[in-house]
Amino acid sequence: MGDTQIQTQKNPATILVLNSGSSSLKFGLFKAGRAGAAAGGGAAAGSPDASTDEDDETLLLEGSAQGIGRPDGSLKIQTADGTVLLQEAHLMESQTDALQKLAGALAEHGHTRPSAVGHRVVHGGPHLREHQLLTPEVRQQLQEAVHFAPLHIPPALALIDQAMQIFSDAQHYACFDTAFHRTMPAVASQLALPRRYAEAGVIRYGFHGLSYESLVRQLGNDLPARAVFAHLGNGSSVCALRDRRSVDTSMGLTPTGGIPMATRSGDLDPGVLLYMMRTEHVGADQLETLLNRESGLAGFTGGEGDMQALEKRSAAGDQDAELAIDAFATGVRKYVGAYAALLGGIDLLVFAGGIGEHSAEVRRRVCTGLEFMGLRAEDPAGKVRVMHTEEERQIARHCRALLGQPAQ
């Protein structure tokens, strides 16, 4: 197929969302809500309450390319009611390869060309903190911010470039995971370093913002003043919210910080890195691989970072797996406790993400010891809830709100 554009009829009310991961590409095709027919619509870009009208985005298709770069990779596309349109297994070398296959499949099944394409961008650096139109200037700013997230920004840029070629007649938007956390006060965002570093953008940004925005919108008026959200998956973070806004979160300058994750270390004493540099003479690239690919739960267990697999191993008596699960749940619980102190109490604790939604064992372990605050995992109708995050739909909402607006 190469870079040939997909020739299908264009529908001005259709939004394609691309949500890229380290080895996967999730996507959703949405029919925009009523405001999508007009220029703009909804709240300001970056607002957690953007597009709160009753006629919300309607999912048409969804799916994912999994195992990118592995011989066991797969592509699946299904309709909103679960009808599978395409399911096949093959090697996809990169996210751009997966996007080409996705575009071809959409055309083959007769779906219209989108008028907007929304891209989830994990990190935009210090100057890109609002969801916005992807202009050449914005792309250049992303390129200049690569050193803030060298594992995330380059593949995001490659995917953006490819999507702009395939869907050249659509407007493309960047939606940033860091945007939701702009409301954090200085005491949460500033690091205890000389001021020149903050002036260079070395601050705590926070991530999973699109997930948190989605939860805020879903809860609506049921969201109390003091809440803690735990997005738990391969990447995991915890966020404290006061009056619907982020006031603190566990991830910092990069998505490596906070609680130990599937393959990421989480917070470390900086002296650990100095020790490695002095005794093993490792450089920045080696440290990046160690901290992001070989640590976290995988570090405890000799390489296994999948929570479902670890729970099976733990149940069979594997002590390394038991330690990994305990360290993960304890890390989450400690942040929940800290945020209770920060907020003066917690009225609602929400679990989301693949682990948060599907692992009752992790939820039980996190809540064990928090009963004195009324937080009990077995009481999801009370102060603890389990929710499905809707990152792709939230990106579509922002695209609809931004359609027709001038570049920032």
Return the active site residues: 177
Q: What gap in Å lies between CA 336 and CA 236, rounded to an integer?
A: 13
Q: At what angle do helices 284-293 and 270-280 cross, to 10 degrees?
A: 130
Q: For the chain, first and last CA: distance in Å? A: 34
SS3 308: helix
β-pair type (116-121, 226-231): unpaired
Q: What are the tokens at 37? A: 């027919």
Cα–Cα distance for residue pair 321/223, rounded to 1 Å: 35
Integer CA distances (angstroms), 68 to 114, 320, 334, in order: 24, 28, 34
- Residues with Cβ within 8 Å of 185's Cβ and at least 6 positions away in sequence, in order, are 247
Residue 353: exposure state from Cβ atoms within 10 A (0-12, 13-18, ≥19): buried
In the chain, how many H helices and how many E strands?
Answer: 14, 13
Cβ atoms of residues 16 and 29 within 8 Å? yes
Residue 406, Cβ density class (10 Å: 0-12 exposed, 13-18 middle, ≥19 buried): exposed
- Dihedral, CA atoms, 275, 279, 284, 288, nearest 10 degrees? -70
Q: Write a three-state SS string for 64-101.
A: EEECCCCCCCEEEEEECCCCEEEEEECCCCCHHHHHHH
Enumerate the H helices of 122-208 as residue ranges: 136-144, 153-166, 186-189, 195-199
Between the alpha carbon of residue 406 and those of residues 40, 134, 135, 208, the distances in Å are: 10, 11, 10, 26
- Closest by CA to 262, choosing from 232, 302, 306, 300, is 306
